[in-house]
Structure 1
């Protein structure tokens, strides 16, 4: 413990040997506890969904102004929540905002829940903290010392991790005049896809409790479906008072954006197939049919474009299959007098895709869907 020491005298002493693996830093330990797949630029999410140029502009602009308020104006509320049903483009809005804030130097971290990481709530705060360390050197040095001294911090409750590794270091750096200073945004997308309702609520409550007194320079943006337990948590008096809320609805107000996306996507398909852009494919009627079938859901047209553009297929035939499905589905529901929900066409389209799955891989696909059934409802 004291190599090379001479003539030492200790009285009534108690020694504790806290060893750290040779060569392993606190940041190394933190990186092992984090999940790189949750980052906004992770290869696991490539290609990440993002807003097509010229679409969702007002939503993106509002969020950027919330994260980076104009000079001379009061700071907006520290929490932001965008809610909306599946398929309306919440993740695309989040991704677009994150990339813009990154370019502006105002992004601290981002965590995107996805199929591969939905059950890894224990990696949530370590991932956020690791990303913050990559942005701010003084904060990184402090976190490195804290974890080297006690690596069990990463095995404690989310509330403890948040307080010990985010709140307290922010206060210490501020006292030393090394604080971050400017308002920095942290984005959390797909919160409703985290492993359990209790954990989802705990994440909101933990962040809100520490953010209420604004002891850190961070503002937090959440994107999720309007699940009852999430609605209830954001409705708590101490949380609703510090939260800006935005709704991304299923609405035909998005038809213009959807049509713009479709026309540009079809131009790309023609270009990649070396077909003249003067081609009249698809017709205006075909595009308008797809827009109506989307019912305000970007996920419908995004899936349709991937289906039509898939390698080895004939785009015209693939488009014809989709249009036929739309016609047959509408005729069926009109004949029986049943109302069409926003997801009717999407369900029919997914059935078309399932029917095209080769028989030799169908069992594996069905097994995957069964194992992930709780995320598909």
Structure 2
């Protein structure tokens, strides 16, 4: 302050009143900016990365969405021990992500969406594939939606500058529970209500750690963690948070019924589980919704191809619904197959679908497997196309791998259009960018069940390719490109893959 009067003279001060405001305001902006830099932005339900994410077709899955929304709003009514966590499960293709996406939009419109996190094993963003940004992304959304929490979360970051290097339990305590506890102590504490929605937790990959205490400049990899360990860690963090009296939110966790989730949510030694379970396959009959979906899509296709309104006959939809076995992904793939511009007439394509023979087993995915196999076999070189699919999946995990980059690496002739030759009939399985937009967009798989199919030799049979063969294929392509005159390094950094 002395500098403000430097050089002043011949003045008299009778009364001096100085109002000092915190010129730097609070460092809340700094703390929240640091928090924002640690989130997985693509994991939020309305992110740009999820612009093409599946949603429930209008008027479908209404019952399950209503039940979940009622639980969010009312809990379990007069239950003496209400459950704050609900596990939504079901096999691949039953529409879990679509239900969670549509429910998120509904909760946001109703003002009861606290936070969302959509894991995705295919994402190039590490934050969506691992646990690292899970708690920070939840805290960021709580701060965004609730001004009172924003202030307390900012204070917590200022008081714990190393919080982003702590484990998930500590992060949840400092960034979420402590701020909630501080607000709960206020005489005029606001009442929070809402839901935290987590989808695809079974797709969370394990974070690996290195021992940095080893003498010398090189650190060594500690005993590798499994995906189950990190998934269980997140589940335990959520359970601990839900049991805190100051935690007001419901939690929805959607995943496949993998063992780690079955054992966590339905422990054999607990007669009263702490969470509710909702099975999309067992608790809800999806046949009506699938029939409605197919009916609307067939009407649209019929109008486009100038077919009579009686096409297809009701018997066709009944057969397709039966073949779907509750798997929405089957119905969606059938429609994409019919709608991808094959040279054959629409009626011939539908007839081919109906003639596909499935194995006479109890596997509910047998018709989906037959459909996947038929579509892949329509490629001019099915085994080579499968190698491309695997390579696209591996390379998509690295930033900068646009469709153009992938093509430049994999196609045997830089001037050819091998990608269209191999993948041209697979548009119902893979979202393929148009030729003019391949430099800035990526290949996308419509559903993870395609890779599940290819990775299981009992399902894919003659199309099965071992992982080591795929890595060797990528290396061969990389060596070929390095030996050519094309400056591939300027557009793509090849990941470390050991054949």
Task: Give the TM-score range, shorter chain.
Answer: 0.7 to 0.9
| 1:364 matched to 2:403 | no
| 1:84 matched to 2:90 | yes
Deviations 1:274-300 (A, max 9, x none): x55853333323322322221211111
Contact 2:153-2:175 at 8 Å conserved across structures? yes
Which structure 2 residues correspond to residues 1-377 of structure 1 after superposition, within 5 A?
A: 25-69=30-74, 73=78, 76-114=82-120, 115-116=122-123, 118-177=128-187, 179-195=189-205, 196-236=227-267, 241-249=273-281, 253-271=285-303, 273=304, 275=305, 278-310=308-340, 312-313=341-342, 316-317=345-346, 320-321=348-349, 323-330=351-358, 333=359, 338-357=360-379, 363-369=387-393, 376=452
Q: Measure the CA separation in 1 of the matches of 2:153 and 2:181.
A: 13
Query: Relative CO higher for 1 or 2, CA cutoff 8 Å, sep ≥ 6?
Result: 1
Q: Measure the CA separation in 1 of the matches of 2:77 and 2:91.
A: 36
Instruction: Give secondary structure in 2 for the equivalent of 1:301.
Output: helix
The Cα RMSD (Å) is: 3.3
| Cα 1:323/1:46, change in 2 over 3 Å | farther
Q: Measure the CA separation in 2 of the matches of 1:25 and 1:291.
A: 54
Q: Measure the CA separation in 2 of the matches of 1:252 and 1:193.
A: 24
Instruction: Give secondary structure in 2 for the equivalent of 1:33.
Output: coil
The structure having more radius of gyration, on CA atoms, is: 2
1:80 offset after TM fit, Å?
A: 0.7
Instruction: Give secondary structure in 2 for the equivalent of 1:176.
Output: coil
TM-score (norm 2): 0.63
Deviations 1:313-366 (A, max 9, x none): 46843x633542442414xx4xxxx42521111112112332345769764323
Instruction: Give secondary structure in 2 for the equivalent of 1:223.
Output: strand
1:179 offset after TM fit, Å?
A: 4.1
Deviations 1:147-196 (A, max 9, x none): 24444211210000000011000010121246441321001111111111
Q: Measure the CA separation in 2 of the matches of 1:223 and 1:173.
A: 30
| Cα 1:212/1:250, change in 2 over 3 Å | closer
Q: Gaps spanning 5+ residues in structure 1: where?
A: 7-21
Aligned pair count? Answer: 351
Contact 2:265-2:274 at 8 Å conserved across structures? no
Contact 1:250-1:297 at 8 Å conserved across structures? no
TM-score (norm 1): 0.82
Q: Gaps spanning 5+ residues in structure 2: where?
A: 6-26, 206-226, 398-447, 456-499
Instruction: Give secondary structure in 2 for the equivalent of 1:187.
Output: strand
Contact 2:356-2:371 at 8 Å conserved across structures? no
Q: Which residue of 2 aligns with 1:11?
A: none
Contact 1:255-1:296 at 8 Å conserved across structures? yes
Deviations 1:200-255 (A, max 9, x none): 11111111122214321111111111111111112346895431111122699322
Q: Measure the CA separation in 2 of the matches of 1:124 and 1:251.
A: 29
Q: Measure the CA separation in 2 of the matches of 1:256 and 1:172.
A: 48
1:4 offset after TM fit, Å?
A: 5.5
Instruction: Give secondary structure in 2 for the equivalent of 1:329.
Output: coil
Contact 2:96-2:255 at 8 Å conserved across structures? yes
Instruction: Give secondary structure in 1 for the equivalent of 2:357.
Output: helix
Q: Which residue of 1 aligns with 2:483?
A: none
Greater helix proportion: 1
